[in-house]
Amino acid sequence: MTQVLTWEDTLLDYLRTSNEDEQVVNFVSKTILPQLTSRFDKIDWLELGPGPGTKTQLILEDIMGSAQAHLRSLRLIEPSVAWCDFIRRNTPEILNTIKIFEMSFNDYLYSESRLYDKWQPNFVTCFHVLYEYELIEEFLLYLKHQEQTGHRLLACIIVESEHSDFFKLRQKLIHFGQPQPSPAALQLRSSVSKLGLPAQEFEVNSQYFRISDIYEGLQWLLAFLFGCEKEALTKIPEKVRMEANEIIKQFLEKKQNQVLEVPDIAFVFAIG
């Protein structure tokens, strides 16, 4: 079993042992790319928070392999230095095509240098990044501004669905005093309607398979659910960790083949 060393390792473990990348990439290929190619001859893609870039690379391969889609440029905005290095190390073949900005998307979108930067995306993706109210608002206000200034683009946000077993499990663990990521899908829905943005919603049905690990010592799932690193987990008293694991164990026992259903919600915006 992989040691939980950093939050990055935890996320990589999850991506390796779930079908989330595959499901998200399938959804983008089947639902988004046809809309994109019917609207634009050339794609200028802005991806916010690519993390390890596993989805980015697969979508890129789809675009490159498609007769209809022509990628002109791609920018990745990623504040984690570890992830930027990871992308540079693991996908050197795509580095000629892309430009990486080591910063948060809010700094990128609202930086002064952007005033002089003529580059304008017509495809914006943001997968599993918008889990804080401020980030949701800043991103949606950016879309609103694009709409008001007459820019045409297709944007796709993906967040965990409120029907995900991860979300349900976190609700059960709420009394352990860990910071609980908010139900982003609900916040997004409400902010989208408040701003009057044109959004279509889709379910993306991912599953998480590697359940047996939680019966071992490292409590991978607990760290993942709390969104923390191993260091932070060790600060939680042993007794509390054991109680939390017991709750997870009971939840899993009710699942068929111990597979967690972890659907996501995709919000797709055709602006302009």
Ligand X SMILES: C[S@@+](CC[C@H](N)C(=O)[O-])C[C@H]1O[C@@H](n2cnc3c(N)ncnc32)[C@H](O)[C@@H]1O
Q: Which residues bind ligand X (CB under 6 A)?
A: 11, 15, 48-51, 54-55, 77-80, 83, 104-106, 127-129, 135
The alpha helices in 28-176, defined as continuous H runs, are 33-39, 54-65, 81-90, 105-109, 133-148, 165-172
C-alpha 103/C-alpha 48 separation (Å) is: 10
The residues that bridge with 71 in the sheet, in sequence order, are 43
Q: In terms of CB distance, is 56 or 146 closer to ligand X?
A: 56
Please give the span between the terminal C-alpha atoms of the chain, in angstroms, as a whole number. Answer: 48
Q: In terms of CB distance, is 23 or 242 closer to ligand X?
A: 23
Kindly write down the DSSP assignment for every residue of 174-219, as one continuous string: GGG-PPPPP-HHHHHHHHHHHHT--EEEEEE--EE---GGGGSTT-
Nearest distance from C-beta of residue 101 to ligand X, angstroms = 9
Quote helix, strand, coil % in the chain, to nearest 5. 50, 20, 30
Q: In terms of CB distance, is 135 or 265 closer to ligand X?
A: 135
Nearest distance from C-beta of residue 130 to ligand X, angstroms = 9
Q: In terms of CB distance, is 50 or 263 closer to ligand X?
A: 50
Nearest distance from C-beta of residue 41 to ligand X, angstroms = 27
Q: In terms of CB distance, is 103 or 152 closer to ligand X?
A: 103
Nearest distance from C-beta of residue 238 to ligand X, angstroms = 28
Nearest distance from C-beta of residue 106 to ligand X, angstroms = 6
